[in-house]
Amino acid sequence: MHIKILGGGCKNCEVLYENTKQALEELGIEATMEKVTDFVEIAKYGVMKTPALVVDEKVKISGRVVKADEIKKVLK
Amino acid sequence: MDFINNILQFTWLNNLVRLLVENVFGISMETRLGGSVHFFIYDTIKIVILLGIMIFIISYIRSYFSPEKTKKILERFGGISGNIMASLLGIVTPFCSCSSVPLFIGFVEAGIPIGVTFSFLITSPIVNEAAFAILLASFGWKIAVVYVITGVVVGVVGGILIGSLHLEDQVEEYVYQIKMGDSEIEELDRKQRIDFAIQNVKDIIKRVWIYLIIGIGIGAVIHGWAPAEILSKYAGPDNPLAVIVAVVVAIPLYSNALGTIPIAEALIMKGVGIGTALAFMMATTALSLPEMILLRKVIKPKLIAVFVAITGVSIILVGYMFNAIAHLLI
């Protein structure tokens, strides 16, 4: 599984990154995690509001800081 | 009606805090200390209640809007109606200041004129839920509503002016080359919307409470001790320079703006112009240094300067207007 967190690097993006990490640990899923801060790259995903969660190149959540519980549902 | 007014105007809270100050603390309301303590407790409780309720309601409504939908709507409007629509959508579209760059890219890529894009970018931070709630708590609904309307007017006028200057060459070239991907807009269920709204309430209160407490504290001191004659002489509605100074001082103070409203409330009771206070607040949110630094990634310095100048001048004009009509609103 390949996970990307899209966002310019503000606090919201950090929180989403940490929550995703926590969700992965709790589910015991092996995944590579990556922060995407380049706006050209972010635009390629069609995302206009950050932070966004991309799982295997698909945008799952955007514009919301989501708790680990909800991320778990997305990952499963 | 009396019952509803009592609740809405917080007369009950006012009386409750008065009882607390007079009977429990044993301080007379006629003394400076009594007045200040009352102001502090009453304002803190009122602002926290209204802040929580308003942020929740507005965030819930906002969960039905998204920048993607906004972009699709704006693609259909041209000319001034585009600016008006962009300003109105700026109120309801949720986005944090760190999203202003992807949002700008998305709008430009969709062929939305920069003037229209700026109408959105100007109104959105000015008309925010926290500012609205605190204005409501401090000055009542008339001022809060007029503030929203003025925020839209500043956005529309600012956007039209920026558009008329034809500064398309001031957008970084790479922005025009970006091919935006298509992402599905997720539909939220009710629980997710409620979560989103609660999360916003927590976020905003966590971010502003310390400024609020400090602001209310300073307000309380002003309430008891500030010399009204000197204040109204230097910062009153009759001093035209006060508005300009307020706007310039506001720019580096981003996000602390909300704490300034209780200070403003106390100052206004002492004779400072309400337009001066409101211009100060608009400037802190609309002209923030962090946002300018972010926008520099997509637009050149000249356009940033034009944006700051036009928005700043509009806000100053709004300040004068408010000072002139304040007696109709309070």
What percentage of chain B exceeds 70 in pLDDT?
Answer: 89
Contact A44/B298, CB-based, under 8 Å? no
* CA distances in angstroms from B185 to A41, B70, B188, B232, B235, listed in the order given: 18, 12, 9, 52, 49
CB B40 within 8 A of CB B216: yes
* Domain containing residue A22: CATH number: 3.40.30.10
Nearest CB to B183: which of A10, A46, A70? A46
- Euclidean distance between CA atoms A35 and A13, whole angstroms: 9
Cα B153 to Cα B151: distance, rounded to the nearest angstrom = 5
Nearest residue, CB atoms, A50 vs list B98, B180, B181: B98
* Residue in A40, A48, A55 to test binding to B, most B beta-carbons within 10 Å: A48
Tell me the pLDDT band of B156, cut-offs 50, 70 and 90.
very high
Question: For B7-19, how does the pLDDT look when each residue is reduced to its tens digit (9 = 90+)?
Answer: 666 788 888 888 8
CB of A24 less than 8 A from some CB of B: no
Span B18-63, pLDDT tens digits: 888 888 888 887 788 888 888 888 888 888 888 899 889 988 988 8
Cβ distance of A10 and B96 shorter than 8 Å: yes
- Check if B12 contacts A (Cβ < 8 Å): no
Q: Name the domain count of chain A.
A: 1
Instruction: Let me know: does B319 contact B274? Beta carbons within 8 Å.
Output: no
Residue A51 host element (H or E): none
Please tell me the distance in Å from B107's CA to the nearest CA on chain A: 9
Q: What ipTM score was computed for the predicted complex, to two decimals?
A: 0.80
CA distances from A30 to A4, A24, B44, B116, B124 (A): 14, 7, 48, 45, 40
Q: Which domain holds residue A29?
A: 2-75
Asked if pLDDT for residue B326 goes beyond 80, the answer is: no
Closest to B303 measured CA to CA, from B312, B294, B315, B295: B295
CA atoms within 13 A on the CB side of B54: 21
DSSP state, B171?
Answer: B
Of residues B103, B174, B297, nearest to A48 (C-beta): B103
